[in-house]
Amino acid sequence: MDPHNFGNHPRLKPPMVLTGTANEGSAGPPIGLTDIGVSEDAYLFRVALPGLRKNECSVKCEILHDGTVHVRGVVTPDGGILRDSSGVFQLRVQQLCPPGPFTISFKLPGPVDPRLFCPNFRADGILEGVVMKQRVPVIHVDG
C-alpha cells in the first residue's frame, strides 16, 4: 500500500517524522502526537506540544500544496528555571520537551490550498489548524 494514500483507511496512522528534541524525549508526555479530521471541504489537524507555551517557544507551521505539514520550533533554554505568578523554581526533574529545536512532519490525506489555512496554538499546548482542500475547477461546456 502507498504510505501516502491512507485517506481511505480511517484506522491507519499517517507516517510521521520527528527530529531534534521532539525525537529525543522518552519520558513524560510525547510531543508530536497528531489527530487528523476530514470534512467535505477541509482538513483539521491537532499536534500535541505538551509543556510548550506561546511565549516560551518559537513555533511555525508550513503547509505545502500536496498536504505535507511541517511544524518547526525551538524550545528556548531557561537554565533549568521555571517562573510563574507565585515565584521562581529551580528544576529538579525535567520530563517535558528539553530546550532546543524540533520538527514534526506529516501528510494530510489530500492536496490543500495553503493560502486558506487558519492555525491556532491553544493554551493547552495543542497546535490546531484548519486548511481548505484544493478544489479542482469545474469547466462547463455549452454545446
Q: What is the pLDDT of residues 85-104, one digit of tens each?
A: 677 776 666 666 667 788 99
Report the alpha-carbon distance of residue 76 to residue 73 in Å, rounded.
Answer: 9
Whether 76 is covered by a domain: the verdict is yes
Whether 1 is covered by a domain: the verdict is no
**Tens of pLDDT, residues 70-84:** 999 887 666 555 566
Residue 55 lies in domain: 28-133
Whether 4 is covered by a domain: the verdict is no
As a whole-number percent, the residues of the chain with pLDDT over 90 amount to 39
Whether 102 is covered by a domain: the verdict is yes
Report the alpha-carbon distance of residue 5 to residue 64 in Å, rounded.
Answer: 16
Q: Work out the number of other CB atoms within 10 angstroms of the CB of residue 3.
A: 9
DSSP type of residue 24: H
**Tens of pLDDT, residues 18-76:** 777 667 655 556 778 899 999 999 999 999 988 777 766 778 999 999 999 999 988 76
Give the CATH number, domain containing residue 110.
Answer: 2.60.40.790
> What is the predicted pLDDT for the residue at 61?
95
> What is the predicted pLDDT for the residue at 24?
67
Q: What is the largest CA-CA distance in the chain?
A: 77
Whether 19 is covered by a domain: the verdict is no
Whether 139 is covered by a domain: the verdict is no
Q: What is the pTM of this model?
A: 0.68
- Give the three cell numbers for residue 75: 524550545
- Give the three cell numbers for residue 42: 477541509
